Amino acid sequence: MALKLIPRQNSGAKSDGMVLAVGGTRATVQIYSAKDTNGLKFEPSTTLTGHESWIRSLAFSPVKDSPTGEDGPTNSQDFLLASCSQDKYIRLWKVSLGEGTTSNTPQNVEDQLLAGVEQATLTPKAHKFDLNGAKYSITFEALLFGHEDWVYTVAWHPNPLQQQLLSASADNSLVIWEQDPVTGVWFSLSRMGEISSLKGSTTATGSAGGFWVGLWSPCGDVVVCLGRTGSWRFWRHDTAADVWLPIPGITGHVRAVCDIAWETNGGYLLSTSGDQTTRLYAEWKKGNHHSWHEFSRPQIHGYDLNCLAPLGPSRFVSGADEKLLRVFNETRAVANLLTRLSGLANPKSDEDMPDAASIPVLGLSNKAMDEEVGDDEGANEAGDQGEQQTVQPEVYNLEFDHPPLEDHLARHTLWPEHEKLYGHGYEISAVTASHDLSVIATACKASSIDHAVIRLYDTSTWNEVRPPLTAHSLTITSLRFSADDKYLLSVGRDRQWAVFERDSVNKLQFKLLASNPKGHSRMILSASWAPHPTATVFATGGRDKSVKIWLKEDDTFTAKTTIPFSYPITAVDFLPISVHGGLYIAIGDDSGRIFVGRVQVESLEAGEMLVIPQTECPSKSVTQIAWRPVKGLVEVHGEDVTATGRKPGYQLAVASEDSSIRLYNIDSLPPK
């Protein structure tokens, strides 16, 4: 829909009128008018025909050339209506004050024959209507063609003196249209986006999948568009060179964010989502200005991704709606980019890192550019059969002074796959890694005790450590290693938790230490170990709207505190250090609310709760919460300081079903 205010033309009119253009699944544009702005009673006025498919967008704008020649364009009573459609065309309609021209049909028979089909399709018929005693007419003005797919939106330049039209299309392009001042012909002045020869391409090959929205900035010097990858692309007009240049935009997931995890040193944040991508976010340190951006898109998959776990600064493992897990290595280009823009140290030498990665056309495994694509995995994985042909883009070094643009993220920041971990029979539901990075623990969706097992993998050989750990009867929802890696905690949909103890001699072996089949009255969705200085403590949160604090006593764990809430608890995480003699836990619930609470070290009783304002919380359920690792903190005069003596504060990452990832600065924790 598009709405236009019409100034009153005679003293008899009580107020200004309005014109409303409406388009939908019909191929016509309906015009409605209202006599005043008070009652908002619209009546049908006329119907504009010409499009051959659904109408996607409508926009009104003043006409540049005023018919009076004195008051200028802004005082003109004539204006234009732009309509775009799934028929790939844009039509311009001129709304004029007065009777208008009813027809432009040639007068003699010869001219009519020469006109042929053109007169049948582009007849400038005048559609008339009355408004507040004044007569108006709508005539067809121009047909704009140049897009190769559906045109989603049209928008006029905010400055009426600079009459330009911006269109966004499913052909991955933004076009700025302008009228030639001499001939009056409309033409494409600038085209932004991409021109792809890969018809039917998807995000797996780097295609943007079309631009859904195109907008002007208030000043008209920046245009933005939104596509299916979840990114806002920005272009700024360079006046000196008269060109539109891309600048860093805003990126993010487009479906529920299922898991987040900080790199082991807290340098960057990894996230994974139902949109089948894994993304890496880091801080861009540009002088005194620091901002967070997406620096890499390590994994673009064919299955929804459910969980991940970092395996050091340059490696991670992820699980999806498939039976195996995949391990990825960082590329040299991404590592150098993070070092240059974020100040992160590169833990490996350049010789030990692959140049870049490419993805097979019909496969799921990212390949290192310096590897030959063989058939070593084709017999083992049905989804990757036929991966003999890969998309081999040019190797980009990412040598620029800003975070990657969307084109770079989608094509040149993939991480090559290092290893596959087999063993599970259903979709992966949870994964974690020990703090010494020697063991990976995984679980899959299960409806029986046979599949509700924890499988361990040795990261030195990538072989499974048998036998798997058993305790649960339904899907395991969360796995956590204690800070000293002595214990492995699991919680699940069967309402129980289980703690496994590591063998003191064979570090790859674990045995069941304790379990509680009735840990909560409903399923347990999250768990976290507390950094208690002397005891072994963990917390669980579940659908029964409570968080429970458990203390190890001999060979069992006892519930010491139960914290009630108004909604089911979906995520919990302890701050990895004790502050002021207290344990601080972040809690997220099914409504999107976020809390930070204090637990007394001695009694394990819950203290005051810090509640994040609801306007700053997600709009849907919290799926994961993760404190940023705190390095080099010591307690001096009751305040936490780093080696530089600056109070650091704390950062909390929150993932949600609303597709957002939020990073909170917690400057002050709840008091005692």
Token code pair at residue 594:
């976020």
Q: How many CB atoms lie within 10 A of CB 338?
A: 25
The Cα–Cα gap between 194 and 173 comes to: 6
- At 552 the pLDDT is 96
The Cα–Cα gap between 152 and 202 comes to: 18
Q: Which of 98, 85, 29, 75 is nearest to 54 (CA)?
A: 85
- At 638 the pLDDT is 40
CA torsion angle for 635, 638, 642, 646 (degrees, to 10)?
-170
- At 107 the pLDDT is 43
- At 74 the pLDDT is 43
More confident: 343 or 633: 343
Cβ 589 vs Cβ 569: under 8 Å: yes
- At 350 the pLDDT is 64
What DSSP designation does 355 have?
S
3-state secondary structure of 132: coil
More confident: 193 or 99: 193
Is 267's pLDDT higher than 90? yes
The Cα–Cα gap between 281 and 292 comes to: 7
Pairing of β 305-310 and β 17-23:
unpaired
Span 531-549, average pLDDT: 97
Pairing of β 417-421 and β 257-262:
unpaired
- At 103 the pLDDT is 43
Is 225's pLDDT higher than 60? yes
The Cα–Cα gap between 84 and 151 comes to: 6
Span 415-427, average pLDDT: 95
- At 539 the pLDDT is 98
Model confidence at 387, pLDDT cuts 50, 70, 90, reads: very low
Pairing of β 476-481 and β 546-553:
unpaired
Is 67's pLDDT higher than 50? no
3-state secondary structure of 186: strand
Span 604-618, average pLDDT: 94
Cβ 625 vs Cβ 594: under 8 Å: yes
Give the type of residue at 356: A
Long-range contacts (CB closer than 8 Å, 24 or more residues apart) made by 72-81: 73/160, 73/161, 73/163, 74/160, 74/161, 77/6, 77/7, 77/9, 79/4, 80/141, 80/156, 81/2, 81/4, 81/21, 81/29, 81/138
Q: How many CB atoms lie within 10 A of CB 582?
A: 19
- At 13 the pLDDT is 52
- At 361 the pLDDT is 58
CA torsion angle for 308, 655, 557, 504 (degrees, to 10)?
30
Q: Which run of H or E residues covers position 278?
A: strand 277-286
- At 70 the pLDDT is 42
Alpha-carbon dihedral sign for residues 213, 214, 219, 222:
positive
Is 78's pLDDT higher than 90? no
Q: Where are the beta strands (DSSP E) in 157-256?
A: 164-169, 173-179, 186-193, 211-216, 222-227, 232-238, 243-250
Cβ 462 vs Cβ 474: under 8 Å: no
Q: Which run of H or E residues covers position 410?
A: helix 406-412
Is 63's pLDDT higher than 50? yes
597 pairs with which residues across the strands?
585, 609
Model confidence at 245, pLDDT cuts 50, 70, 90, reads: very high
Span 83-105, average pLDDT: 80
| Distant-in-sequence, close-in-space partners of 41: CB < 8 Å, separation ≥ 6 | 34, 35
For 483, phi and psi rounded to 5 degrees?
Answer: -60, -35
- At 439 the pLDDT is 98
Token code pair at residue 507:
């570090």
% of the chain at pLDDT higher than 90: 65
Q: Which of 588, 669, 603 is nearest to 630 (CA)?
A: 669
Token code pair at residue 324:
């195996």
Q: What is the pLDDT of residues 475-491, one digit of tens each?
A: 999 999 999 999 999 99
Is 328's pLDDT higher than 60? yes
Span 285-309, average pLDDT: 93
pTM: predicted TM-score of the whole model, two decimal places: 0.85
- At 363 the pLDDT is 62
3-state secondary structure of 345: coil
Cβ 12 vs Cβ 29: under 8 Å: no
- At 476 the pLDDT is 98
- At 206 the pLDDT is 54
The Cα–Cα gap between 632 and 641 comes to: 8
Q: Which run of H or E residues covers position 173?
A: strand 173-179
538 to 398, 558, 559: CA distances (angstroms): 43, 10, 10
- At 384 the pLDDT is 43
- At 358 the pLDDT is 66
What DSSP designation does 204 have?
G
How distant is the alpha carbon of residue 422 from its chain centre? 29
Cβ 139 vs Cβ 101: under 8 Å: yes
The Cα–Cα gap between 58 and 153 comes to: 8
Span 651-667, average pLDDT: 96
User: 426-440 burial string, b = 16+ CB within 10 Å, else e?
Assistant: bbbbbbbbbeebebb
CA torsion angle for 71, 77, 83, 89 (degrees, to 10)?
-60
Cβ 158 vs Cβ 219: under 8 Å: yes
The Cα–Cα gap between 308 and 524 comes to: 19
Span 413-428, average pLDDT: 95
Model confidence at 631, pLDDT cuts 50, 70, 90, reads: low
The Cα–Cα gap between 284 and 487 comes to: 36
Q: Which residue has the tokens 């208030």?
A: 218
Q: Which residue has the tokens 């004029």?
A: 96
Model confidence at 109, pLDDT cuts 50, 70, 90, reads: very low
Q: Which residue has the tokens 């207290």?
A: 582
The Cα–Cα gap between 573 and 529 comes to: 8
Span 351-358, average pLDDT: 70
Is 650's pLDDT higher than 80? yes
More confident: 98 or 558: 558
Model confidence at 132, pLDDT cuts 50, 70, 90, reads: confident
| Distant-in-sequence, close-in-space partners of 411: CB < 8 Å, separation ≥ 6 | 206, 393, 396
How distant is the alpha carbon of residue 543 from its chain centre? 27
- At 345 the pLDDT is 85
% of the chain at pLDDT higher than 70: 81
Span 547-554, average pLDDT: 96
Is 596's pLDDT higher than 50? yes
Alpha-carbon dihedral sign for residues 500, 504, 507, 511:
negative
Residues in the chain: 672
Q: Where are the beta strands (DSSP E) in 302-368?
A: 305-310, 315-320, 325-329, 357-358, 367-368
